[in-house]
Amino acid sequence: MKKIFLVALLFINIHSLLLAQTAIKAGLLYTVSRPVIKDGIVLIKNGKIEAAGSKDEITIPAGYKVVEANVVTPGLIDARSVVGLSGYLNVPADQDQLEKSSPLQPDLRAIDAYNTEERLVRYVRDNGVTVLHTGHGTGALISGQTMVVKTKPGTVEQVTLLPVSMLAMTIGPSVHGNFSSPGTKAKQMAMLREEFIKAQVYVNKQNDKDSTKRPARDLKLEILGRVLKGEIKAMITANASNDIMNAIRLSKEFNFKLVLDGAAEAYLLIDEIKNAHAEIILHATMARNGGDMVNSTRESAALLTKAGLTVSIETGYEAYVPKTRVLIFEAAMAVREGLPYEEGLKAITINPAKLLGLDKRVGSIEKGKDADLVLFDGDPYEYLTNVCKVMIDGEWVSDNCK
């Protein structure tokens, strides 16, 4: 009986190993780490990319299951989203992206609100998004913390890559549209400066050699302290040029790492953004021109990239059903308006991977990286093209072209 059990166990292990071995043949393979490869091959083993290259470089080993596709790209990465906190039904019960009881809530954790079973998670996965930078939305001075997840099924713990990624903040009219105070931009900045000054004092006291002089734990000041110490980035939504400059001044005063989110008028402040070493998550290309985004242009990604800035494109937040955009189409529109073809793919793959500090794991098709892949039946930017299959960590999680 013992021998039978061991044989059965060995068979199960071998079977699992064989299932983990896949070869994908691509008419066009966009690794984004090297020029496009015609007739490319990707080998996947145990959830990782074993090899990637042309058919002349790679031989498919025996026993690998072969899957063919017209075009293969890395899994797409949404640089800024509220999916998983904002839900498909658009009712109060599934809208956890913005707490309006206070304009200053840095202690709110995205991981406590993220719903892996939310229908929108499946929706973006079916459209090729394998990694989400998601969390608390715009509209509060400090709305809360963000996180990074894989869009595969599982518990929050199983899908989370970074439980805390950035601290989400907003400067602009949406704040005083949600709260009675602050009512002006000057008040917004005064309130933010006051909180950071409190955090500076808190951090200094926490570092006191005399433990009896250390203050009690304060969750709000603790996370602001992590921003001040450079452990996490401050992601500030700012669209108008004066709001962008306010964000830059704040980052210089308190010496924190700045990520400009939205950045509709960034093309007017290229030198200032470069000098501040700020990173950019650009608003969805097709976002409406209105409010503080009245001067946004679909050429922004092209203009900023040409100037030497690294751009990541987001889907952001939509206040109407279906509550999220199709990321690949937003990149396609940026390409339509002058962004080079492969730069468009980088803006939704390797660029956000670097922004999030995850480029050693995701964002390109290279040996040793997570096997997150998207298989298309045509040009990814073509509106009628289908996302046929999506793989995350070597497992098929979506099949739309059965």
The string of pLDDT tens digits covering residues 115-158 is: 999 999 999 999 999 999 999 999 999 999 999 999 999 999 99
pLDDT band (50, 70, 90) for residue 321: low
Note the pLDDT of residue 5.
Answer: 43
Number of domain units in the chain = 2
33-60, pLDDT tens digit by residue? 999 999 999 999 999 999 999 999 999 9
Burial zone of 270 (CB within 10 Å; 0-12 exposed, 13-18 middle, 19+ buried): middle
Same domain assignment for residues 253 and 375: no
262-280, pLDDT tens digit by residue? 999 999 999 999 999 999 9
Closest by Cα among 258, 345, 347, 259 to 300: 347
Burial zone of 354 (CB within 10 Å; 0-12 exposed, 13-18 middle, 19+ buried): middle
- Residue whose pair of structure tokens reads 């001067």 in the numeric block: 295
Does residue 308 form part of some domain?
Answer: yes
74-131, pLDDT tens digit by residue? 999 999 999 999 998 888 889 999 999 999 999 999 999 999 999 999 999 999 999 9
Helices (H), 307-375: 327-336, 341-346, 350-355
Does residue 146 form part of some domain?
Answer: yes
Domain that holds residue 14: 2-74+369-399
Same domain assignment for residues 67 and 205: no
Percent helix, strand and coil across the chain, each to the nearest 5:
35, 25, 40
**Alpha carbons within 13 A on the beta-carbon side of 123:** 17
Same domain assignment for residues 190 and 123: yes
Does residue 364 form part of some domain?
Answer: no
Does residue 57 form part of some domain?
Answer: yes
> Looking at residue 140, which CATH number applies to its domain?
3.20.20.140
Same domain assignment for residues 22 and 114: no
Q: What is the pTM of this model?
A: 0.94
Same domain assignment for residues 227 and 333: yes
Same domain assignment for residues 393 and 262: no
Does residue 360 form part of some domain?
Answer: no
Does residue 363 form part of some domain?
Answer: no
Same domain assignment for residues 263 and 312: yes
Does residue 362 form part of some domain?
Answer: no
Query: Any idea what the Cα angle at residue 120 is, between residues 116 and 126, rounded to 5°?
Result: 100
Does residue 262 form part of some domain?
Answer: yes
Same domain assignment for residues 88 and 194: yes
> Looking at residue 56, which CATH number applies to its domain?
2.30.40.10
Same domain assignment for residues 161 and 32: no
Same domain assignment for residues 93 and 229: yes
Same domain assignment for residues 133 and 168: yes
Same domain assignment for residues 145 and 66: no
